[in-house]
Amino acid sequence: MPVNDTAPAISEEQLQEILSSHREWHNFARVLHQSPAIYQLEMERIWRQGWLFAGFEIELPKPGDFITLQMDNAPILVVRDDDGKVRAFHNVCRHRGTTLCRESSGNRRRIVCPYHQWTYGRNGELLHCHGMHKDLDKSELGLKALHTEVLEGMIFVSLADQPPPFDPARQLMTPFAKPLGLASNCKIAKVIDYEIDANWKLVFENNRECYHCNVGHPQYIKANYDIYEEGYISDSVRTQFEASVARSEKSWSEAGLNAAHSEGGLAHFPNPVNDIWYSANRTVLSDGFQTESMDGARVVAQLIGDYKDADVGVVRLRTMPNFWGHASCDHAVLTRLLPGGHKKTMARSYWLVHQDAVEGVDYHLDKLLPFWQLTAEQDWELCKRAQDGVDSPGYQPGPLSKDREYNVNALVMWYMLQMKKTTTDDKKSGVQECNGAAA
Amino acid sequence: MPVNDTAPAISEEQLQEILSSHREWHNFARVLHQSPAIYQLEMERIWRQGWLFAGFEIELPKPGDFITLQMDNAPILVVRDDDGKVRAFHNVCRHRGTTLCRESSGNRRRIVCPYHQWTYGRNGELLHCHGMHKDLDKSELGLKALHTEVLEGMIFVSLADQPPPFDPARQLMTPFAKPLGLASNCKIAKVIDYEIDANWKLVFENNRECYHCNVGHPQYIKANYDIYEEGYISDSVRTQFEASVARSEKSWSEAGLNAAHSEGGLAHFPNPVNDIWYSANRTVLSDGFQTESMDGARVVAQLIGDYKDADVGVVRLRTMPNFWGHASCDHAVLTRLLPGGHKKTMARSYWLVHQDAVEGVDYHLDKLLPFWQLTAEQDWELCKRAQDGVDSPGYQPGPLSKDREYNVNALVMWYMLQMKKTTTDDKKSGVQECNGAAA
Amino acid sequence: MPVNDTAPAISEEQLQEILSSHREWHNFARVLHQSPAIYQLEMERIWRQGWLFAGFEIELPKPGDFITLQMDNAPILVVRDDDGKVRAFHNVCRHRGTTLCRESSGNRRRIVCPYHQWTYGRNGELLHCHGMHKDLDKSELGLKALHTEVLEGMIFVSLADQPPPFDPARQLMTPFAKPLGLASNCKIAKVIDYEIDANWKLVFENNRECYHCNVGHPQYIKANYDIYEEGYISDSVRTQFEASVARSEKSWSEAGLNAAHSEGGLAHFPNPVNDIWYSANRTVLSDGFQTESMDGARVVAQLIGDYKDADVGVVRLRTMPNFWGHASCDHAVLTRLLPGGHKKTMARSYWLVHQDAVEGVDYHLDKLLPFWQLTAEQDWELCKRAQDGVDSPGYQPGPLSKDREYNVNALVMWYMLQMKKTTTDDKKSGVQECNGAAA
C-alpha cells in the first residue's frame, strides 16, 4: 500500500455522496468543476484509464521520429520504432527520472537521457547504462510502455494497466475514418495550441451542444443543421434538410460512403447506458456549402482521402475524454484536449489537407483557418466565463434542456459512471510496468 | 449535508482551540494571517455574513445601470431596476453558471447570458430561456438576489441568508452621512484600484491605529489630532485641540451638524462588546486646515452636500469588514476592501466631489489626490511588510499598546466574536436562494 | 499543543511508511520530491534543525553591517554587533511581525521597525518602543536570536532550539579553510543568484555525483579526476593521477598544507552512518591546470590566503543541507542553497579573490567566471528536467550506481536518518526564543 500525500483529500465515501446527490437533467455540482482533489480522481478514473488521442502517424513518417505530449503531470513520448511500429512510453528515464525528449517533435537514433546518458532503443529497450554496476539487470529497466493503438492514422494511447477494449471503437469508426485518408495521404497544414482557463469538463460539455451556437457561432450555424433539433426547425428548413438527407444518402450510397445522420441537432454522444466512449457519423452540409468554410466554397484544391466527389458532407469523429473533429471533402479539423490542472485545459487544433496540396497555391491559410479558428476561440472564451461563474458560491447546478442539451446530460451521466467505478488499482500509479521492448 | 472538499481542512475544534489560545492585548496568531483554511472560514463567518460596502448609487443613475464587483470567488452584480430600486444579485447564470456581466459598469435593458441567452429582467426575474423544455418553471430560476441596503447613497449588500439588522447602522450613520450629499449631489472624481499583498485583517488593523502615522504618514498627521492620544499630547497641542473642539462644537451645533469626537486619538471602533460593526463621527482639523489636503487649503471650489460653510471638520465613516472613509468640507475619500485570497486584498479608493465641480476648473487632481493617495500607498507597503513578517516561523504575536492600539485590540476581539459564532448554516453556501423578482 | 493547519497533511505514520518502503541503492520515492507536505516536514527536520551557511564575515566588515536572507518563509538578519560579534536574528519585529531590514545588505546604527519604530540594538535588545504602555517588560521583547557560528569567515546559522554541535565541523574543516584566507584577506568579486525550478534534494544530489559530468560538464572534467572512479580510469590516466597525488602530497606536506584526497572520483559525503553533515578535502588538479579555469591558466594575479605557491590543488568544502564550494590557488567559488518551495531552490554562487586584486587589472570576470558559471547553469537545467520527470506518475525510483553514485546513495540515507528523527519539538516552531542581548 503505497502512501501518497498528493492523493486526493477526499474520501471515497465523500465522492460517492457527491455523485449520488446529482439531480437528473441538471449540470455538474460546483465542487466537480473546482476541486483539485476531484481533478486528481478524474485523472485516475478517466484520463489514466481510457484511450487518449495523441497525434497522427503522419507526424512520425520515419523510424525514430517522435512527438511528445504532456497529460497533466505525465510527459509522454510517441515514437516510431525500427520495425515501423508506433509505440508510446512514459517520457521519463528509468534511472533518476529525467524527462528524455523535450522537443515537441524530432528524430532519434537512440533515446539518450541527457543526465547520465542511459540509452534506450526506439522500442524502449535499455541498451546502455555505462557507469552502472555490473550486475544490473538491464532487461527490467526498459522505458515504461503505454498501450498504443493506431486507427486510420490516428494514434491513441492509454496510461491504464488494462485499458478498455479498443476494437469496438475501431469497428465503428473505421468506415467513417478510412475514406478520409488520414493514415496515408494527408499532411498537417496548421496546428494551433490553446491554453483554456477552464476545467476540461466545461470544455467538453461546450462541444456537446449547439444550444450556444445561435449567438455564439454565427459562422458555424450557416454550414450545418446542428441547431435544428426537433421543435427548433421551421417547416422550410425541415424541407431543405430532408431533401438534402434524401439526396445525399442516395449519392453517398452509390459512392460507397456510409450513411448520414438523418436528424437535425447533434448525434447522441457519449452513451452512458452502454458506456461507449467513441462515435462517428456523417452529416449533410447546408445548401450552398461544399465544405466547412466561411462562405461554403472549397478551400483546398485537392479532395482528401479516397473522395472522388466533393459531395460527401462532413464526417464527425469523437472519443471521450479528449478528441473530436470534423472532416469536410477537402480538409479535416481535429482537436485534442489535455488537462493541465483543475482549471486549465490545453487544446490543440490540427488542420489536415491532402499531402499534395501546396500552401499559397492549392490552399491559403486565411481561407482554410477562420471557420474553425473562430469557432474554437469563441468557445474557449465561453468556457472561461463558465468557469468564473461555477466558482461562485452563488452557482447552483441549473437544469439542462431536454431538447438541446441531451448530450451534456449524456456527458454528465457518462462521467458519473466512470467516477463510480471503484477500480481495484485506484491506489496504483496507473502505469503499466513492463519491458518496453516486449510491450 | 452537501460535501465540499474545498471546505476548510481545519476542524471546528481546532479553530476554537486557536481562538481560545488568544492572549489578551496581543496580536493575531500567525496561523490566522496565513492559512487558506482560516481564510475560507472567514469568508463564511464574516464576509458572507455581514454587510459589505459595494459602491455608490451615483454610479447607477438610470434604470439598467450596473456595476460589478468580485468578493473572493463571488462575482456580484448591482443594478438599478425599472422602478429605480437598487438590487444586487449573484452575477451568475442560473443555467450553467456563466458570469453574466463582465464589464465593471454599464447599462443593460435585459441581463442576457452570453452563453445560451437566458434573459433576466433588471429585477432578476427570468424572462426567457428559449431552447429549454416546455415544462420548466421559470419562476424558480430568477437570479439569486443579495440583500441590499442603501444608506445615503452608499450601497451595502450581504451574501447572508439572514444578515444582521441594518437599521441600527442607518440610524447611527445617517446624521453624519446626510449632510455630505453622497446620495444626491456628488460625483466620483477619481477611482484608484490597488492589489495589496496582505491578508485583509492586516489591512484593516493598519486602519485602526495611528501609532504608525508619526513616521509612516508625515502629511497625514499635520491635518488632525489622530496621534494625540491621552499621554501623547503636549500641553500646547492639548490647548489648541481643546480650543478647536470647543469652538467647533459651538459653530456646528448652530449649523445643525452633529458633534465632534472630543478626544485625541482615534474613536473607538469596532465594538466587540456589543458586536457593533458600524461607526461614524466628526473630528476637528488642525488649525490652518480647511480640508484634508497637503497644505490644508481647499482643493475643490464647491462645498459638498448641504454644507454652507467650510468649517465642518471631517466626518469619518466605517463599517466592518470592508469600508472606511473621510469627508472634508469639499471632498470625500472612501475606501472599499475586497478579499482576493488569504494573502491578497483588493482596495478601491473613491474621491468624491460636488457634482457641479469641473476638473481643471474647480479642482485639479494633482491637488485633490495626494493627501490620501500617499497615505494609502504608504499603508499598503507597510501591510505587505507585515505579511512577510507574520509568515515567518519566527513571528510570535506581540503585545498591543493599550494606549495607541486599543482599536487593533478591538478589531481582534470583534474578529474572535464572529469566528466563534457557530452559525447553523456554516455548511450552506451562504447564499440566499429566491426569485430575484420577489427579493 | 498549538494548532497549525498549515502543518503537513501527512501523518507521522504515513511518513515513516514512505521512508520504510525505501529500497536500498535506489533513488528517492516520487512523493519525496513533489509533496508540499513532505517539504514542510523537511523544513522542520532538516532545514530548521541543522546549520545553514548564510554568508561571509567579509560582507559585514563594520559594526552595524548586515545581510539578509530568506530560508523558505523565514526572513533572517545577520548583523555585526558593537563588539564586533556576528549575530543572526529572525528579521521580524516582536511587535506586529513586520520584516525589519528589506535590503539584501546595508548598515544600521539601530534596527528600527518601519511600522511603529520599535528600535533594537545591534545585539537584538529592544531599546525603545515609544507608544507602548508603561508596564511593558522590554527585556522579554528582544529580537529572536539564531544560533550563529563563524568558521574561518564563513557564517553559519541555525534556526533550531538545540542545533547539533558545531565544534566537530570546525575541527575538521578549519585546517582546510584556514589557508584560504576567507576570513581575513578575501573579497567577493561576483555573486550570481539563481532560481532553480527543482526540489532542493534534486539540486544537492546533482552535486553529489560526477556520473553526469562526462557529457554534462565538458569544461569541468578537464580540470580534475572526478569522473575517474575505480573501474572508470584508464591505465594512462591512473598513472598521471598517481604521480600527481604523490608529487602533491610531498610538496603540500612541505608547505604545511593538509593531504590530498588520494582516489579518483568524489570523496565520500555525507556520512549517514555517523550522521556527519560536514566535510573538506584537498584534491589534485589535472596536469596543466593551475586553477579551475577554462584552460587551467591562472585567472587572478594574487594567490588567495596564505598560499605562497600556486601548486595547492583544490580545497573542497561542503555542509549539509545548503553549502559547497571549491577553492583553487587564486580564487574560490562557493554556493549557498535556500529552499523557496517544494519545487523551487534559490542558489547563490560567490566568487572570492584576494582583497588586493583589482578587477580589470589583476583579474577579468570573463576569465574568472565561466568555469563555474557554466557548470552551475548546466546543472540547474539538468535539475529542472529531473523535476519534470519525477513529477510523472510514470516515475519509479531507479537504481543508483554503486560505482558512481555512492554519494547520492549516501545523501538518500542521510536524509532518511534526519526524517526518521522524531524530535520532541516537531510541533514547536523551531524557533529559539530568548532575549537577543543574552543569546
Amino acid identity, residue B294? M
Residue A7 confidence class, pLDDT cut points 50, 70, 90: low
So what's the pLDDT on residue C260? 82
Q: Does C433 touch chain B (CB under 8 A)?
A: yes
Distance from CA of B215 to the nearest CA of C (A): 8
- Residues A124, A125, A131, A134, CA torsion sign: positive
Q: Quick one: DSSP state of residue A57?
A: G
CB C59, CB C189: distance < 8 Å: no
Residue A55: in which H helix or E strand, if any? strand A52-56
Distance from CA of C221 to the nearest CA of B (A): 42
Report the C-alpha dihedral over residues C53, C54, C57, C60, rounded to 10 degrees: 180
Contact: B17, C4; criterion CB under 8 Å: no
Distance from CA of A234 to the nearest CA of B (A): 14
**Which residues in C lie closer than 8 A to residue B398 (C-beta atoms)?**
93-97, 141
Q: Is B376 helix (H, G, I), strand (E, B) or coil?
A: helix
Please write the tens of the pLDDT for every residue from A322-381. 999 999 999 999 999 999 999 999 999 999 999 999 999 999 999 999 999 999 999 999
**Which residues in C lie closer than 8 A to residue B14 (C-beta atoms)?**
3, 5
Q: Which residues pair with A271 in a beta bridge?
A: A276
Contact: C90, B395; criterion CB under 8 Å: yes
Contact: B92, A14; criterion CB under 8 Å: no
The interface pTM score, or ipTM, of the predicted complex is 0.93
For chains A and B, CB pairs below 8 A equal: 117
**Which residues in B lie closer than 8 A to residue C115 (C-beta atoms)?**
212, 216, 382, 385-386
Q: Quick one: DSSP state of residue A363?
A: B
So what's the pLDDT on residue A87? 98
Q: Does A430 touch chain C (CB under 8 A)?
A: yes
Residue A305, C-beta contacts closer than 8 angstroms, at least 6 positions apart: A178, A179, A180, A181, A182, A184, A185, A186
Contact: B5, A35; criterion CB under 8 Å: yes
CB neighbour class for B142 (10 Å; exposed up to 12, middle 13-18, buried from 19): buried
Nearest to B389 among C5, C99, C116 (CB): C99
| Rounded Cα–Cα distance for residues A281 and A315 (Å) | 6
Q: Which residues pair with C166 in a beta bridge?
A: none
Measure the N-to-C terminal CA separation of chain C; round to a whole number of Å. 26
So what's the pLDDT on residue C3? 41
Nearest residue of A to residue C14, measured between CA atoms: A3
Give one word for B106, left, alpha or beta, with left for phi > 0 and alpha for psi -120 to 50.
left
CA separation (Å) from C407 to C31, C403, C410? Answer: 21, 10, 5
Nearest residue of A to residue C18, measured between CA atoms: A3
- Rounded to the nearest integer, the mean pLDDT of chain A is 93
| Rounded Cα–Cα distance for residues B411 and B417 (Å) | 10
| Rounded Cα–Cα distance for residues A260 and B331 (Å) | 71
pLDDT of chain C along its 439 residues, tens only? Answer: 334 445 557 889 999 999 999 999 999 999 999 889 999 999 999 999 999 999 999 999 999 999 999 999 999 999 999 999 999 999 999 999 999 999 999 999 999 999 999 999 999 999 999 999 999 999 999 999 999 999 999 999 999 999 999 999 999 999 999 999 999 899 999 999 999 999 999 999 999 999 999 999 999 999 999 999 999 999 999 999 999 999 998 999 999 998 888 889 999 999 999 999 999 999 999 999 999 999 999 999 999 999 999 999 999 999 999 999 999 999 999 999 999 999 999 999 999 999 999 999 999 999 999 999 999 999 999 999 999 999 999 999 999 999 999 999 999 999 999 999 865 444 333 333 323 332 2
CB B331, CB B351: distance < 8 Å: yes
Nearest to C14 among A3, A102, A159 (CB): A3
Distance from CA of B163 to the nearest CA of A (A): 16
Q: Does A386 touch chain B (CB under 8 A)?
A: yes
Contact: A37, B144; criterion CB under 8 Å: no
Residue A395, C-beta contacts closer than 8 angstroms, at least 6 positions apart: A30, A389, B90, B92, B97
Distance from CA of B271 to the nearest CA of C (A): 21
CA separation (Å) from C412 to B111, C201, C397? Answer: 61, 9, 12
Q: Judging by DSSP bridges, how do beta strands B278-283 and B314-319 pair with one another? A: antiparallel
Q: Does A114 touch chain C (CB under 8 A)?
A: yes
Q: Which of C196, C311, C215, C318 is nearest to C266 (CA)?
A: C318
Residue A158: in which H helix or E strand, if any? strand A154-158
Nearest to A393 among B95, B114, B429 (CB): B429
Residue identified by cell 529572525 is C90
Strand runs (DSSP E) across B145-185, as ranges?
145-151, 154-158
- Rounded to the nearest integer, the mean pLDDT of chain B is 93
| Rounded Cα–Cα distance for residues C13 and C9 (Å) | 12
Q: Does A383 touch chain B (CB under 8 A)?
A: no
Q: How many helices and strands, by DSSP H and E, does chain C display?
A: 10, 16
**Which residues in B lie closer than 8 A to residue C133 (C-beta atoms)?**
401-403
Residue A113, C-beta contacts closer than 8 angstroms, at least 6 positions apart: A93, A95, A98, A100, A119, A120
**Which residues in C lie closer than 8 A to residue A117 (C-beta atoms)?**
214-215
Nearest residue of C to residue B16, measured between CA atoms: C3
Nearest residue of C to residue B231, measured between CA atoms: C131
Range A271-285 average pLDDT: 96
Range A390-414 average pLDDT: 97
**Which residues in A lie closer than 8 A to residue C389 (C-beta atoms)?**
75, 91-93, 96-100
Q: Does C90 touch chain B (CB under 8 A)?
A: yes
Distance from CA of A288 to the nearest CA of C (A): 50
Residue identified by cell 504532456 is A70
**B56 φ, ψ to 5°?**
-115, 145
**Which residues in A lie closer than 8 A to residue C215 (C-beta atoms)?**
114, 117
Range A275-302 average pLDDT: 97
CA separation (Å) from C241 to A168, C218, C235, C262, C313? Answer: 66, 19, 10, 9, 12
Q: Does B234 touch chain A (CB under 8 A)?
A: no
CB atoms within 10 A of CB B292: 25
Nearest to B92 among A216, A392, A404 (CB): A392
Q: Does C115 touch chain B (CB under 8 A)?
A: yes
Residue C347: in which H helix or E strand, if any? strand C345-354
| Rounded Cα–Cα distance for residues A95 and A100 (Å) | 11
Amino acid identity, residue C112? V
Q: Does C11 touch chain B (CB under 8 A)?
A: no
| Rounded Cα–Cα distance for residues C302 and B105 (Å) | 69
Give the cell for residue C432. Answer: 529559539
CB neighbour class for B120 (10 Å; exposed up to 12, middle 13-18, buried from 19): buried
Residue identified by cell 443593460 is B108
Contact: B431, A37; criterion CB under 8 Å: no
CB C348, CB C192: distance < 8 Å: yes
So what's the pLDDT on residue A259? 81
Sheet arrangement for strand A314-319? A186-196, A345-354, A332-339, A323-327, A314-319, A278-283
Residue B243: in which H helix or E strand, if any? helix B235-255
**Which residues in B lie closer than 8 A to residue C97 (C-beta atoms)?**
27, 30, 386, 389-390, 392, 395, 397-398
Distance from CA of B96 to the nearest CA of A (A): 6
Residue B98, C-beta contacts closer than 8 angstroms, at least 6 positions apart: A382, A385, A386, A388, A389, B92, B113, B114, B115
CB atoms within 10 A of CB C221: 18
Amino acid identity, residue A349? S
Measure the N-to-C terminal CA separation of chain B; round to a whole number of Å. 26
H helical segments located in A255-369: 365-368
Residue identified by cell 476637528 is B284
Q: Which of A308, A350, A347 is nearest to A330 (CA)?
A: A308
CB atoms within 10 A of CB A294: 15
Nearest residue of B to residue C73, measured between CA atoms: B392
| Rounded Cα–Cα distance for residues B192 and B350 (Å) | 7
| Rounded Cα–Cα distance for residues A289 and A233 (Å) | 19
| Rounded Cα–Cα distance for residues B427 and B45 (Å) | 11
Contact: A395, B141; criterion CB under 8 Å: no
Residue B47, C-beta contacts closer than 8 angstroms, at least 6 positions apart: B71, B72, B159, B321, B322, B339
Angle, nearest 10°, between helix axes A12-20 and A406-420? 150
Q: Does A425 or B412 have the greater pLDDT score?
A: B412
| Rounded Cα–Cα distance for residues B119 and A34 (Å) | 26
Nearest to C395 among A9, A92, A116 (CB): A92
Residues 70-89 of A with CB under 8 A from C: 73-75
Q: Does A7 touch chain B (CB under 8 A)?
A: no
| Rounded Cα–Cα distance for residues C321 and C319 (Å) | 6
Give the cell for residue A316. Answer: 464527425
Contact: C74, B394; criterion CB under 8 Å: yes
**Which residues in A lie closer than 8 A to residue B131 (C-beta atoms)?**
211, 232, 401, 403-404
Q: Does B409 touch chain C (CB under 8 A)?
A: no
| Rounded Cα–Cα distance for residues B95 and A428 (Å) | 38
Q: Quick one: DSSP state of residue B47?
A: I
Contact: A385, B9; criterion CB under 8 Å: no
Nearest residue of C to residue B8, measured between CA atoms: C5
Nearest to A14 among B3, B98, B116 (CB): B3
CB neighbour class for B397 (10 Å; exposed up to 12, middle 13-18, buried from 19): buried
Nearest residue of A to residue C388, measured between CA atoms: A99
Contact: B401, C131; criterion CB under 8 Å: yes
Q: Which of C397, C389, C390 is nearest to A101 (CA)?
A: C389
Q: b/e map of C291-323 (b: 16 or more CB within 10 Å)? A: bbbeebebbbebbbbebeeebbbbbbbbbbbbb
Distance from CA of A16 to the nearest CA of C (A): 22
Nearest residue of C to residue A5, measured between CA atoms: C10
pLDDT above 70: residue A166: yes
Please write the tens of the pLDDT for every residue from B373-415. 999 999 999 999 999 999 999 999 999 999 999 999 999 999 9
Instruction: Give Cα B269 to chain centroid, integer Å.
Output: 14
